[in-house]
Amino acid sequence: MRPPHLTARRLVTTSVALVALLVATLVAASLVGPVHVSLARALATADSTDAVILFRTRLPRVLLGAVVGGSLAAAGAALQALLGNPLACPHLLGISGGAAVAGVLALVAGADTVSPVVPLAAFAGALGAIAIVALGARAGGRTTPHAVLLVGVVFNALAAAALMLVNALASYTQAQGVLFWIMGSLSTQSYGLLAAAALYGLVGLAWLGVHAQDLNLLAAGEEGAAQLGVEVERTRRAVFLASSLLVGAAVSVSGMIGFVGLIVPHLLRLLLGPDQRLLLPASFLGGAVFLVWADTLARTVLGPVELPVGVVTALTGGPFFLFLLRRHLRRGLA
C-alpha cells in the first residue's frame, strides 16, 4: 500500500532507484547479444571486433531504445491524465500515423534507409499531424479530450488507408521495407540521430513536468481543475503539444513500437500512485528500461535472426500486465 501522499523525498528516492536500474540495464544490455563480446578487449583495442560490435552496433541501439521507450512512456502517462483515460495510448493521437505516412512516402520515393532523410521526413509528418489534429479538435476556443480523441482516431484511420495505398502501389521489396519500418526497429549506428532523439525526449519530458501538478488537478474534471486554479485550455494545449513532440520524435526514429506507452505508465500508476510529479519521470525511466530489455530479447532470442521489437513488447508486456492487474483486482485495490 503506497503512502497517502507524495513527498519530495519519495520522489527523489524513487527516481534515484529507477535511474540506477536504468544504468544497470544499459550496461547489462550492451553486453548481451547473439555474439559474445568481451568488455575488456573492447576497451583495450579500438580496432577489435568487440569494440566495433559494442560501440558501433550495440551501444547506439541500446541508448536509442532507452530514449524511445522513455519518450513513449512519458507521453503515455501524460496523455492518460489529459484524456482522463487510464488506457489511452500515445499512438491514439494520430501523430504516429502522420509520422508513419511521411516516413513511408520518403522510403518509397527512394530515400536511403540509412540516411537521416526518412526520420526527418517522418518528423515533418509528425509536426503536420500535430497541426492538423490540434486545429481539427479545437472548437469554440476549447480543445476537449473528447474532440482530440475523435480527431486522432479519424486521422489514424486516414493514415492507415494512405499506408495501405502506398503499400499496394509499391514494389514487393519496397512493401517489405515499409512494413518493417512501421513495425518498429531500434537498429541504428548513428549517434547523431540518438542525440537528436534524446534532445527531443528530454525537452518534451521537462515541458510535461512543468505541468505535472496541473495534470493532477485535471483529474478533478475540467471544472474542478479550473476551480482549483488551473488554466485548463492552456494546460491541455501544452500537454498535447509536449506529448506529440515526444511521440513524433520517437516514431520518426524507430517506427511504431506499440504497448510501451500504454503498459508502462499504467503499471507504474498501480504501483506508485497517480501523482504525475512522480509518474512522469518514473514512466520515462521505466519505459526506457522496459524497451531496452524488450529490444535485447528481440535481437538475441532467435540467435542471428532479429525479431521486430514491437512483437516482443506486446508478447512480454501484455501477459505481465494482465498478471499484475489481476493481483490488484483480487486485492480490491484497482
Partner 1 sequence: MTALLEAERVSFAYGPRAVLSEVSLVVAPGELVGVIGPNGGGKTTLVRLLSGVLAPRAGSVRLRGTALTAWRRRELARRLAVVPQDPTLEFPFTALEVVLMGRAPHLPALGFPRAHDLAMARAAMDRLDVAGLEDRPLERLSGGERQRVLLARALAQEPEVLLLDEPTTHLDLRHQAGIYDVVAELRRTRGVAVVSVLHDLNLAALYCDRLVLLAGGRVACEGRPAEVLTPAVLRAAYATEVYVGTNALTGGPIVLPRGPTTT
Partner 2 sequence: MTCRLLALLVLAGCGAAAPPPSGGVPARIVSLAPSITEVVYALGAGERLVGVCAQCDYPEAVARVPRVGGYLAPSVEVTLATRPDLVIAVPSPGNREAVRAIERAGVRVLVVHDRTLADLWASMRAVAGALGLPAAGERLVADVSASLGAVRDRVAGRPPRRVLMIVGHSPLVAVGRGTLQDELLTMAGGVNVAGDAGQVWPTLTLELVVARAPEVIVDAAMGSEEAGRQLFAGLTTVPAVRSGRVVPLASDTLFRAGPRVPEAAAALARAIHPEAFAG
CA atoms 33, 258, 215, 230: torsion sign: positive
Q: Please report how close the Cβ of residue 213 comes to partner 2 at its closest, in angstroms.
A: 42
CB 278 within 8 A of CB 11: yes
Q: Please report how close the Cβ of residue 176 comes to partner 2 at its closest, in angstroms.
A: 6
185's contact among partner 2, partner 1, none, with CB below 5 to 8 A by partner kind, is partner 2
- The CA distances from residue 36 to 39, 185, 291, 306, in Å, are 10, 22, 21, 16
15's contact among partner 2, partner 1, none, with CB below 5 to 8 A by partner kind, is none
At 209, the amino acid letter reads: G
| The CA-based dihedral angle spanning residues 307, 25, 277, 153, taken in that order and rounded to the nearest 10 degrees | 0
Q: Please report how close the Cβ of residue 219 comes to partner 1 at its closest, in angstroms.
A: 5
180's contact among partner 1, partner 2, none, with CB below 5 to 8 A by partner kind, is partner 2
128's contact among partner 1, partner 2, none, with CB below 5 to 8 A by partner kind, is none
- Other Cβ atoms less than 10 A from the Cβ of 262: the count is 25
At 239, the amino acid letter reads: V
Task: Give the DSSP letter of residue 143.
Answer: E
Q: Would you tell me which residues interact with partner 2 (CB under 8 A)?
A: 33-35, 37, 47-49, 51-53, 56-58, 110, 112-115, 171-174, 176-177, 180-181, 185, 187, 189, 299, 302-306
C-alpha cell at 163: 499506408
Q: Identify which of 208, 92, 111 has the alpha carbon closest to the alpha carbon of residue 159.
A: 92
Q: Which is nearer to partner 1, 58 or 269 (CB)?
A: 269
Query: What 3-state DSSP class applies to 139?
Result: strand
Q: Which is nearer to partner 1, 230 or 297 (CB)?
A: 230
Euclidean distance between CA atoms 334 and 199, whole angstroms: 35
Q: Please report how close the Cβ of residue 168 comes to partner 2 at its closest, in angstroms.
A: 9
Q: Please report how close the Cβ of residue 280 comes to partner 2 at its closest, in angstroms.
A: 32
- The CA distances from residue 264 to 99, 154, 260, 313, in Å, are 22, 25, 6, 11
Q: Which is nearer to partner 1, 124 or 147 (CB)?
A: 147
321's contact among partner 2, partner 1, none, with CB below 5 to 8 A by partner kind, is none
181's contact among partner 2, partner 1, none, with CB below 5 to 8 A by partner kind, is partner 2
Q: Please report how close the Cβ of residue 228 comes to partner 1 at its closest, in angstroms.
A: 5
Q: Would you tell me which residues interact with partner 1 (CB under 8 A)?
A: 1, 3-8, 11, 81, 84-86, 209-210, 212-214, 216-217, 219-224, 226-231, 269, 273-275, 277, 333-334
Task: Give the DSSP letter of residue 114.
Answer: S
Q: Which is nearer to partner 2, 149 or 250 (CB)?
A: 250
To which H or E segment does residue 333 belong? none
Measure CA of the first residue to CA of the last residue in the chain; give whole Å.
12
Q: Which is nearer to partner 1, 195 or 220 (CB)?
A: 220
